[in-house]
């Protein structure tokens, strides 16, 4: 009897652990993907469906994010507190791309599932609508066609459009070419839902909240909690200096609860350091890109961290120094000098491209990577502020021997 009870208890624990793992995988997918479709990822879709009330309740309570569930997809409506360049589409190169993208979605709003239409139909209606609004859209212009081509490719990559016959690249080269598309049921879920009528808004700040909040103490407390969790969920790092005073106080008071929630829900490991509350993913994941990445920018950033630490520890150093909050102020010239030294020291390990790059190009690559990951920012045009969070990493090249 005792042996049987132990086996049943062990089986229950395994089932509970497997269920928790499936929910964690599903929540990571919701957080990092535009949506999850039943057709492409049925396992995650049905896990979300089975635990819909629980997952919906967590995201709504902690971050104010709405979990949308339809017969074909599951989507988490994510609203950032602060918008960063990396939150956009990497494929888009100009502001015009986003304008065409928005009008493309406008056109698809009038379509139903599996409706078919020609490329000439969508571009002509988009042009007429834009011109009536005083905007420029001229498909005789090669660069306008190239921009719209990027938009159509992105809509196809998102699964919003399906190409039945033809390819928009040919149209970019020759406006006489055509493509037959089919509309998917995902098209009306690309844009997030807004808590109020957009025609009532006069400032962009009015669109920042994911939901309406009551003008009461409880309502504002909820709004603050949502702001904090939204930033921790969507931004790679948030140092103390990046919070406003009210939100920082919440982070300090609730840090134990925040750490427990994000560890239980996502498996993240949270630690409180002098520069802030930081979270680390304990293992590699295919759902999100982690720092350090496999890119050359991360290699330079890690080497720079060690170089900065070395310079700060040198007695009587007259170069870099830390501010009161731990930030390191570095001029462009100083950054280029450090990257040049690192290049001369480690070039045998570097790719041909990096070995032959000018110090100015190396510095620009490194600083752009740090800014993208929230580990640095520009102050004016000649000074770069390195976040104290970068001090949590260090890297050196070493020889590895294999049997």
Report pLDDT digits (tens) over 222-275: 999 999 999 999 999 999 999 999 999 999 999 999 999 999 999 999 999 989
Instruction: Mark which of 156, 189, 222 sits at the end of a domain.
Output: 189
pLDDT band at 185; cut points 50, 70, 90: confident
Q: Are residues 258 and 348 in the same domain?
A: no
Mean model confidence pLDDT for the chain: 89
Q: Are residues 91 and 184 in the same domain?
A: yes
Q: Are residues 92 and 176 in the same domain?
A: yes
Q: Are residues 326 and 374 in the same domain?
A: yes
Q: Are residues 162 and 96 in the same domain?
A: yes
Q: Are residues 155 and 236 in the same domain?
A: no
Q: Are residues 71 and 93 in the same domain?
A: no
Q: What are the structure tokens assigned to 249, written together?
A: 């106080």
Any domain includes 402: no
Any domain includes 201: no
Domain hosting residue 223, numbered range: 213-280
Instruction: Mark which of 280, 311, 331 sits at the end of a domain.
Output: 280
Any domain includes 330: yes
Cβ atoms of residues 38 and 73 within 8 Å:
yes
3-state secondary structure of 328: strand
Q: Are residues 259 and 348 in the same domain?
A: no
Any domain includes 264: yes
| Alpha carbons 3 and 327: distance in angstroms, whole number | 59
Q: Are residues 266 and 307 in the same domain?
A: no
pLDDT band at 321; cut points 50, 70, 90: low
Instruction: Mark which of 77, 96, 131 sits at the end of a domain.
Output: 77
Q: Are residues 56 and 125 in the same domain?
A: no
pLDDT of 400 strictly over 80 = no
Any domain includes 198: no
Q: Are residues 71 and 11 in the same domain?
A: yes
pLDDT band at 97; cut points 50, 70, 90: very high
Percent of the chain with pLDDT over 90: 67
Cβ atoms of residues 344 and 356 within 8 Å:
no
| Alpha carbons 217 and 249: distance in angstroms, whole number | 16
Higher pLDDT, 14 or 64: 64
The length of the chain is 403
Which burial class, exposed, middle or buried, applies to 14 when counting CB atoms under 10 A from its CB (0-12, 13-18, 19+)? exposed
CB atoms within 10 A of CB 24: 15
Q: Are residues 68 and 106 in the same domain?
A: no
Please tell me the total count of domains within the chain. 4
Residue with token string 């950032």: 80
Look at residues 139, 66, 54, 158 and name the one whose alpha carbon lies nearest to residue 96.
139
Residue with token string 């170089």: 307
């Amino acid at each position: 009897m005792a042996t049987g009870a132990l086996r049943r208890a062990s089986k229950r624990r395994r089932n509970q652990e497997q269920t928790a793992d499936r929910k964690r995988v599903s929540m990571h997918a919701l957080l990092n993907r535009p949506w999850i479709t039943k057709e492409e990822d049925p396992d995650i879709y049905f896990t979300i469906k089975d635990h819909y009330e629980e997952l919906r309740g967590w995201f709504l309570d902690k971050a104010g994010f709405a979990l949308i569930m339809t017969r074909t997809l599951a989507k988490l409506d994510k609203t950032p507190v602060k918008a960063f360049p990396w939150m956009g589409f990497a494929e888009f190169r100009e502001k015009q791309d986003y304008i065409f993208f928005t009008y493309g979605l406008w056109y698809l709003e009038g379509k139903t599932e599996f409706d078919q239409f020609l490329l000439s139909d969508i571009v002509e209606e988009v042009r007429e609508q834009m011109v009536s609004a005083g905007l420029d859209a001229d498909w005789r212009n090669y660069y306008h066609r190239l921009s719209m081509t990027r938009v159509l490719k992105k809509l196809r990559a998102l699964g919003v459009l399906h190409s039945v016959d033809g390819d928009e690249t040919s149209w970019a080269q020759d406006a006489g070419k055509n493509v037959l598309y089919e509309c998917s049921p995902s098209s009306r879920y690309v844009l997030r839902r807004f808590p109020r009528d957009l025609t009532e808004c006069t400032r962009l700040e009015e669109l920042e909240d994911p939901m309406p909040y009551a003008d009461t103490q409880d309502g504002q407390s909820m709004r603050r909690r949502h702001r904090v969790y939204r930033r921790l969920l969507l931004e790679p790092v948030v140092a103390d200096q990046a919070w406003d005073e009210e939100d920082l106080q919440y982070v300090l008071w609730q840090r134990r609860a925040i750490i427990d929630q994000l560890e239980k829900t996502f498996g993240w490991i949270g630690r409180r350091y002098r520069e802030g509350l930081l979270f680390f993913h304990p293992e590699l994941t295919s759902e999100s890109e982690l720092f350090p990445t496999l890119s050359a920018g991360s290699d330079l950033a890690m080497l720079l961290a060690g170089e900065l630490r070395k310079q700060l520890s040198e007695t009587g150093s007259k170069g870099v120094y830390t501010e009161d909050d731990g930030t390191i102020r570095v001029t462009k010239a100083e950054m280029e000098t450090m990257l040049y030294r690192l290049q001369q020291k480690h070039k045998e390990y570097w790719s041909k491209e990096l070995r032959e790059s000018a110090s100015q190009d190396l510095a620009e690559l490194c600083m752009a990577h740090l800014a993208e990951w929230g580990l640095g920012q520009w102050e004016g045009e000649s000074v770069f502020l390195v976040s104290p969070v970068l001090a949590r990493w260090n890297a050196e090249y070493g020889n590895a021997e294999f049997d």
